[in-house]
Every structure is written in C-alpha cells, then in structure tokens.
Amino acid sequence: MSTEQAQALKDLADAEELIASATAVLAGGPLSPGHAACFAQLADKLARRQSRTQLHAAHALRRTGAHKLDQESFQAVTEAGEHPSLAAFQVAAGRTTTARTHFKNTAGLLHGWLDIPRSTVRDRLALVDCLLGGADAAGQPLPAWLPELAGQFADPAVDPRLVSSAALKLHSARKDFGEGQAGQAKKDQLQAESAAFIRSEPKAARRHINALVAQVKSGQRPLQALLDGIGIFKKGMRQGLVEYVLRVLPAHAAMIEAYFNALDNPASVAGNRDALAHAEAQFTGAQDSGWDDEESMPDWAKDGEPAGSAPEGSAEPEEPEEPDKPDEPGEPEEPDEPEEPEEPEEPAGPAATQFEELKPERRRLVGFLALLMTDRNQSGSPGKQPGLAVPQVSIILDYEKMRRDGKEFAVTSTGIQLSPGETRAALCTAGIYPLVLNGQSLPLDLGRTQRLYSKAQGRAIRAAYRGCLYPGCSMPAERCELDHLDAWEKGGNTDIESAALGCTIHHIGRHCGLFHAVKIPGCRPMALLSKELDPQQKLRVNTYWMTPQEALAADALAERMTAKWRAGELDIEIVEP
C-alpha cells in the first residue's frame, strides 16, 4: 500500500473527528441565526460528499475482493479504525485468501461487518453498477449502466443524492425496457429525460422521473386489463385501523383529485374548517359534550347529578359507552414528492386550531365520509354543505397533437394523462370543462372594465398554468390566487396575458420582492429567483403539475428564453413587486 493512500485514510479519520468536535460545539450552545444557516449549509455539503464517498467505498470493496481478507488483515483494519495513525493504516493494507472467510461476498461484508441493512446494501451496490461500473463473471470491469447519469454523479455542482434516486428508479424498471435495440433505445431515452430534469429543475425532478418510470412499467395495457384491476380492496385490520386500497382509472383519479382540491380549499363552504372539525367529531364520536342540547339531556345527566346516577326509584340507566380509541398508528412513509406550503391562517378558535393540526389525508377522509353519509333527499346544493364539494375537472386538449396522431393529446389540470377513450367519455360528463389552449385570449380579456378576474378567466388561467408560479411549489391551481402582473392601481388591465397564479405564501413573497415574475411576449410568465437562491439567474417555470413530457418542453422553453435574454435578443419585462 502506498504512503499516499495511507495518508488519505488518515485524512478521512481526522475529518471524521473534526466533524464530530465541530458538531458538538455548534449543537451544544447558543448560536446566531447566520451561523445556524452556515451550519446547515455545510452539513448538507458534507452529506452530498458522503453519499459519493459511500458508493466509491462500496465499489472499492467489490473490485478489490475485500470480503476475502484473512483474519489477521481484518484485525489490522479494526485496530486502525480504533487508533488511526499513518503507521496503523500502512499495516492495514491486508491480504486476501482462498481459504474460507467470514463473508461470502461484498454484500455480506457490508451487512455483516458494518451492520448496514440488507435493503440499503442492495440499493448501494445497484447504484455502483449504474453510476460507477460493475464487473463480469471473470472479474473484468464493466462500464456504468447509466453513463449519462454517471457523468452527473461525478459533477460536483449536481446533488448526487438526486442522481442516485433517479438511477434507482431506472434500475427498478430494467426488466420493463425489453430486449435488443428497442429496449436499449427506451433506456437511453428515459436516462436522457431524467438527466434533463435533474439539470433544469431539481425541485420537481423526482416527481417527473417517478411518472416516467410508471409509464414504462404500465405500458400499453388494454382497457379490459385495466378494468379488471380497478376497485376498492379491503386489506384488513392494522394497528386498530381498517385499511383499504383504491385503484381507479386516470379519468376517475381526475375526479377524485378535483374533489380533494375543492375540499382542501378553506375559503369554500365545502372546506370550512370549523364545520369539518365538528363533522369529524360526529363520525368518530369524539364530541365536546355528551349531549347536543340540554333539552335532550336526561335528568340524571344534568348539572347537580353525578354521571351514571339515576333518580331514586327509577331504573338504572345504561352509561353511554366510550368508543374505543384506536391505537396510535405509526408514522406513514412519506412519498418523493415535496411538501405543500403552509396554508393561510384561519380565525382563532378551538375547532379551527384543532382541525388545522390534522394532515390533509385526514381532512379528505372527513369529506369522503360526509359524502357517504349525506341525506340525498335533503334540499340544497351538495357544494353548499361542509365536506361536500362539486368537483370540476379541466381537461386540456392539445389541438395539434389531436390532429397529428390522436395520442396523448389530453391531460387534466392536475397533470393526469388521459387516453382518447377516457377523454371522449369524460367530455360527456357533468363537471368536465374542455379547454383548447394557444388560441386568442381577446374573448376573455376585460381590460379596465372590471377589477377582478371573471370565473371564465380564472378557469382558463388555472388550466393553463396548473399551479403556483414559484418553481417547485406543490400548491394546486384551485388553492392559488390570481395575481395581476400589471398592477391595477397603476393602470394595468385584467387580461389573461397579464395574469399569474400564486399560493398565499408566494403571492405575498412576490409583492415583498423576494422573487420576480417575468413577462415574455407571446409566452407564459416565468419566475426569476433572487441571486442568493439562484446564482445562475435563469428564467424558470414551475413544472410540478405537468406531465413529464410537458415539463421537458417547458424546461426547454425556459432554457431558450434565458439564452435569448442574455444575448439581448428578447425584450422581457421583470415585473416590479
């Protein structure tokens, strides 16, 4: 073993001790906000480097056959780890043996010696194959299975954790690519699209790469095969809760998403937080009081009488049973997708405060139960009752695609791709609004005749932009506010081309100057982040609610517009706060 390699190992050991001592100081006492930010930034940089180092270490274990080290060599390695010094690392060079050893292979070494979980070991070695290269049966090195992603993994400017996540997703679909040149072409295309997402918009890359892989795995399945798989399936009891699995067609999912988006909106009657909190109390039996009103309360339960007692000479009433409290479920595994921004504050009140602490999944269940338990004979619109919404789905038709090949021309405003058959059926359904984009906007423009955008304008804007303007924001369009990019008080018009969408957080943030909206002639508005968040100062589009194909096109458009702007060939307007 060379002195240079032994010194590198000694440097790693020193770095580990330095990190531990620095963490103890920074985590153990008062810290200024700026130093806390530096602490978090440096810790994340270390995590990035560590993710690369771990793969290179696993690659080194496998290519050197370290699992065949003899007992004396393992003892030297252990002592070097406990008492790191240059001399100890020189002694720990070790030697392999053909005799029986502790571990059968590299996976066994990682799991049995370093106590790394087996699932983590499998993923780590799969990533080595994908990003660093493997070995054939004769031990000869093989190139990386995903060479384009391997180049990004080696780039210090790219987060290796995001590349690793994409590589694992593509590796999981390797059996779905098929054989021969067609399979290789499909893999290359998927790799190129994944690399483009990582390069252009890392915040939404995981979502789009997951969607791309899902498309490959689903393939072109016939309708009957899809229909055979849909339904509500009961899985049974787990931790005091009954579990169901719901499988639906994309068209059904569009209706469900629209219902949930309406239910999640606290400004609507259906999403009224106080009323939904009371509704949940009725479903679960967790009422604030045991009786709705004093008139319905029996004498023995009124003030002055002990609970469960009865007047003398009367029959002993049965005490109301306390409903079984379910066991606390474990924390569910969260998906790769980013968290929703904080919701706007609700008026103070115990019910509102209690309900806002609940997760969106629980709110939606309350709305679903309200839908099942509503009285169909009562008068009034279902959309005017707490927990009941009238879902409205916008289907966006690409007219040129529809005329050209009749495939993949329809997508919902939440990014769900519909087949031609589902589109035809959905357009005959109440609550579905077809929108053909790229037409003239004049019929929906109001100029200065009206301060607020009309319902028709709002529907068109939400369908076109899908969600918040801010890159990576996961707030759906239904929860976003319409934003005048030409300030009304300064003479601006209420026109489509002068509108953008912003969630409550980012709408206020734009007006506070935390980022800028950019108007481009003949193009959708884009975002320009501040220099501390985006040193490259690129024009960006939020692609979170787009399909992968739409996101690739939007990212390419943003790249072209940025290049033209920097070259002085594009007259853009950076909107003032």
Q: Check residue 278 and give its pLDDT.
A: 66
Q: Check residue 265 and give its pLDDT.
A: 73
Residues 459-465, mean pLDDT to the nearest whole number: 85
**Each residue's pLDDT tens digit, 187-209:** 999 999 999 999 988 888 999 99
The percentage of the chain sitting over the pLDDT mark of 70, rounded to a whole number, equals 75
The whole-angstrom separation of Cα 355 and Cα 274 is 7
Interstrand relation of 393-397 and 432-436 (parallel, antiparallel or unpaired): parallel
Question: Which pLDDT band holds residue 366 (cuts at 50, 70, 90)?
Answer: confident
The whole-angstrom separation of Cα 3 and Cα 18 is 22
**Each residue's pLDDT tens digit, 229-245:** 889 898 877 887 888 89
The percentage of the chain sitting over the pLDDT mark of 90, rounded to a whole number, equals 36
Distances (CA, A) of 222 to 226, 228, 235, 271: 7, 10, 26, 38
Distances (CA, A) of 464 to 198, 411, 502, 523, 540: 24, 11, 13, 11, 16
Amino acid residing at 559 = E
Residue the block writes with tokens 């759906």: 476
Q: Check residue 405 and give its pLDDT.
A: 75
pLDDT over 70 at 168, yes or no: yes
Of 285, 289, 287, 281, residue with least CA distance to 324? 285
Residues 50-77, mean pLDDT to the nearest whole number: 92
**Of 68-77, 98-107, 272-281, 348-357, which gets the smallest average pLDDT?**
348-357
Q: Check residue 282 and give its pLDDT.
A: 59
Q: Check residue 149 and give its pLDDT.
A: 96
More confident residue, 337 or 538: 538
The whole-angstrom separation of Cα 574 and Cα 576 is 6
Q: Check residue 52 and give its pLDDT.
A: 95
pLDDT over 80 at 544, yes or no: yes
* Mean pLDDT across the chain: 79
Orientation of helix 3-27 relative to helix 33-64, angle to 10°: 150
> Could you report how far apart the first and last alpha carbons of the chain are, in Å?
62
Residues 130-156, mean pLDDT to the nearest whole number: 88
Q: Check residue 539 and give its pLDDT.
A: 95
Q: Check residue 98 and give its pLDDT.
A: 87
DSSP state at residue 333: P
Residues 486-510, mean pLDDT to the nearest whole number: 84
Question: Which pLDDT band holds residue 255 (cuts at 50, 70, 90)?
Answer: confident
Residues 483-508, mean pLDDT to the nearest whole number: 84
Q: Check residue 29 and give its pLDDT.
A: 80
Question: Which pLDDT band holds residue 488 (cuts at 50, 70, 90)?
Answer: confident
Q: Check residue 135 and give its pLDDT.
A: 75
Secondary structure class of 22 (helix, strand, coil): helix
pLDDT over 90 at 8, yes or no: yes
More confident residue, 129 or 306: 129
More confident residue, 485 or 326: 485
Question: Which pLDDT band holds residue 344 (cuts at 50, 70, 90)?
Answer: very low
More confident residue, 159 or 320: 159
pLDDT over 90 at 162, yes or no: yes
Q: Check residue 370 and give its pLDDT.
A: 74
CA 85 to chain centroid, in Å, comes to 45
